Amino acid sequence: MKIVIFVLMGFMTVMGLYGQKQTSGNPIFPGWYADPEVAVFKKQYWIFPTYSDVYEKQVFLDAFSSDDLVHWKKHPRIVDTAAIKWAKRAMWAPAIVEKDNKYFLFFAANDIQNDNEIGGIGIAVADKPEGPYKDYLGKPLIDKFYNGAQPIDQFVFKDSDGQYYMYYGGWRHCNVVKLKDDFTGFIPFEDGSIYKEVTPEKYVEGPFMFIRNGKYYFMWSEGGWTGPDYSVAYAIADSPLGPFKRIGKILEQDTTIATGAGHHSVLQIPGKEEYYIVYHRRPITETHGNSRVVCIDKMEFDENGLIKPVVITREGVKPVKLK
């Protein structure tokens, strides 16, 4: 009975007194989705998530667009395993980059367990954010384990000097690589290495990076993705290569709302000191490992530039139009 009352109260808050949608609500769109990547393209917000189901059914990716963070439009099946011939299952954790009037969608596929299996991190390309996407390389960009990192959960970061880096890795190891300008391979670091390990304390998966006031904020997920302890922590460094010393958690469960809050991305409203965290969580009414939904909440900083713990909500956020 208490759960029903909480849900009804949250719904009434979202819809307002006369039924108009006042806030996004959480989840922000229906369906089982996880690992959301948020971006801004052509004065629209976009979210590219994992379709959350058993691995054999994770054979496509959907996308969602919005003009205001509140109302979302679904773009179904922007890419699937029919377009990526080497991918058979477990298409995960997309990362999106707009470059040279093209959209490059990085993804992981097949959940490989060793260097002899086919799969890893690939790239698809399209002329529009909603696709359709086609295979860019015809093979994985990374298909082996380096420094113990499973080739999954990639995030592509553009530094202030224009250099693109890709952070990736499961199995409690995180690597960074320097991408060639055309994304066909990698540029060696000064010491000649290609895959540089940057694993911080308690790292599990889901890396993310952004710059604020000249500092590099590196974030990741901790805990088990099917469990209540899934969460997000972060570090701050002076370089995109670290070192990344763990500061603490900023996103975790609230047992009155949801568990397993993690694998996120960060949205900064262009030109404003206004930040939001987009993440997945498991409703308290659910126990299935894949019962994950995409949510959004505000992310704020204190006077020292540290990230304040995020308050997860049922209401979500108010409308924010792009100028």
Tell me whether residue 177 is in a domain.
yes
DSSP helix, strand, coil percent of the chain (3-state; round to 5) = 5, 45, 50
State the CATH number of the domain containing residue 105. 2.115.10.20
pLDDT band at 9 (very low <50, low <70, confident <90, very high): very low
Give the residue-averaged pLDDT of 122-130.
98
Give the residue-averaged pLDDT of 83-110.
98
Q: Return the percentage of the chain with pLDDT > 90, whole number.
A: 92
The three-state DSSP-derived secondary structure of 236-254 is: EECCCCCCCCEEEEEECCE
Do 310 and 250 contact (CB within 8 A), yes or no? yes
Tokens 């498991």 sit on residue? 282
Rounded Cα–Cα distance for residues 36 and 32 (Å): 11
Tell me whether residue 182 is in a domain.
yes
pLDDT band at 14 (very low <50, low <70, confident <90, very high): low
Do 257 and 228 contact (CB within 8 A), yes or no? no
pLDDT at 20: 67
Tell me whether residue 314 is in a domain.
no
Number of domains in the chain: 1
pLDDT band at 21 (very low <50, low <70, confident <90, very high): confident
Tell me whether residue 98 is in a domain.
yes
pLDDT at 87: 98
pLDDT at 18: 44
Tell me whether residue 317 is in a domain.
no
Tell me whether residue 76 is in a domain.
yes
* Range with lowest mean pLDDT among 10-24, 74-88, 121-135: 10-24
pLDDT at 173: 98
pLDDT at 93: 97
Mean confidence (pLDDT) of the chain: 94
Domain range enclosing 37: 2-299
Tokens 């082996």 sit on residue? 144
pLDDT band at 15 (very low <50, low <70, confident <90, very high): low
Tell me whether residue 323 is in a domain.
no
Tell me whether residue 304 is in a domain.
no
Residues that are catalytic: 35, 205
Rounded Cα–Cα distance for residues 151 and 223 (Å): 18
Mention every residue, 6+ apart, whose C-beta is less than 8 A from residue 5: none
pLDDT at 5: 43
Give the residue-averaged pLDDT of 250-276.
97
pTM, two decimal places: 0.93
pLDDT tens profile 180-235: 999 999 999 999 999 999 999 999 999 999 999 999 999 999 999 998 999 999 99
pLDDT at 1: 47
